[in-house]
């Protein structure tokens, strides 16, 4: 596919204090694709994912060298002011491993990000947009009669779809998923995988997952990480059926 690259990662290394987590990562992620980060625990895939929307800033000892460019902007060197960082995070949304709806009604969960980011003129669009995004996330039909009940009253799978709908309200270009189905049952997982396939038409998706079948089912490109290094990165079919590295082969066949 001849999509342009929207995320460009060059010579990126990162540390928590003295401990090095990522070692010299180089890769490009293309627009409107689904890219999976796979690898054993503590290989750095989640750290790299969180670096893309600068959520690692919350950890005081975090340090990153190299260049992370999104749409041509170096998000570590070129973004200095808080308002620029906020805008960046609205451009790169995130869905977390444990569904985290806010302790409010479904309606307010959806309305809050829009109220915070819309100018006055747009605020009247909010109710319609709530319906639209909940539909896009395949949740509207299930909750349309109880929009004012608490977000926590939904099942795990529904909560995660609410979180996805919520991230759509900020109109991101890129959506990051941090093991979004690890806390869910197989049926909910399947529904979310279908949803991801639909979403990739309008968004660029990067997903960290432990589930190799999931990675092979939904991704266009796969990146395999091991001990902080990017071992192999390529088209999904190629990596899974014909891996270039023996390490990749061993991981995929379950040797570790």
Partner 1 sequence: MAKLEATKSIENGSHQRKNTVKDFVFKYLLLSLALLGAMMIVFIFIFILSKSWSVLRASGLGFITDGGFSKQISTSYNLSPAEQTFKFGALGLLTATILSTVGALILAIPVGIASAIIICEFSHRAFGTFLQSVIRLLACIPSIIYGLIGLMVVVPFIKETFIFPQLQIQYLSDPVLRMQLSGKSLLAGIIVLAIMIMPTITALSADAIRAVPKNYKEAGLAMGLSHWRVVSRIIIPAARSGIFAGIILAAGRGTGEAIALSMVAGGISNVPQLSHGGVFFLTPVLTLASAIVNKSEAMSVPAIQSALFSCGVILLLTSVIFSLSTKLVEHTVRSSK
Under the rule (CB under 8 A), what is the footprint of partner 1? 53, 55, 58, 82-83, 86-90, 93-94, 96, 98, 100-104, 112-113, 116-117, 163, 166-167, 170
Distance of CA 22 to the CA centre of its chain: 18
User: Is 64 or 90 the residue whose CB approaches partner 1 more closely?
Assistant: 90
CB of 46 to partner 1, least distance (A): 13
Q: In whole angstroms, give the CA distance from residue 19 to residue 106.
A: 41
Cβ-in-10-Å burial (0-12, 13-18, 19+) of 19 comes to exposed
Contact assessment for residue 57 and residue 75, using Cβ atoms and an 8 Å cutoff: no
DSSP-assigned beta bridge partners for residue 34: 205
User: Is 182 or 216 the residue whose CB approaches partner 1 more closely?
Assistant: 182
* Helix, coil or strand: residue 195: helix
What tokens were used for 183? 């806390």
CB of 73 to partner 1, least distance (A): 15
User: Is 93 or 180 the residue whose CB approaches partner 1 more closely?
Assistant: 93
CB of 124 to partner 1, least distance (A): 20
User: Is 5 or 104 the residue whose CB approaches partner 1 more closely?
Assistant: 104
CB of 57 to partner 1, least distance (A): 9
């Amino acid at each position: 596919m001849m999509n342009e690259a929207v995320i460009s990662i060059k010579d990126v290394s990162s540390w928590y204090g003295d401990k090095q987590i990522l070692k010299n990562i180089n890769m490009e992620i293309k627009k409107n694709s689904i890219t999976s980060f796979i690898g054993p625990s503590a290989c750095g895939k989640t750290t790299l994912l969180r670096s893309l929307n600068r959520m690692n800033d919350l950890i005081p000892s975090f340090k990153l060298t190299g260049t992370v460019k999104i749409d041509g902007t170096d998000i570590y060197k070129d973004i200095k002011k808080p308002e620029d960082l906020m805008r960046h995070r609205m451009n790169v949304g995130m869905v977390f491993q444990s569904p985290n709806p806010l302790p409010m009604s479904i309606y307010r969960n959806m309305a809050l990000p829009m109220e915070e980011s819309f100018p006055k003129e747009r605020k009247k669009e909010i109710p319609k947009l709530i319906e639209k995004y909940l539909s896009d996330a395949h949740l509207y039909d299930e909750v349309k009669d109880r929009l004012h009940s608490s977000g926590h009253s939904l099942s795990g799978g529904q909560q995660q779809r609410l979180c996805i709908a919520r991230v759509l309200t900020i109109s991101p270009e890129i959506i990051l998923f941090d093991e979004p189905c690890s806390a869910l049952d197989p049926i909910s997982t399947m529904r979310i995988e279908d949803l991801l396939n639909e979403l990739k038409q309008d968004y660029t998706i990067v997903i960290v997952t432990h589930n190799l079948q999931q990675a092979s089912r939904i991704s266009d490109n796969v990146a395999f990480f091991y001990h902080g290094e990017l071992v192999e990165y390529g088209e999904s079919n190629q990596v899974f059926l014909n891996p270039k590295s023996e390490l990749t082969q061993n991981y995929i066949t379950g040797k570790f």
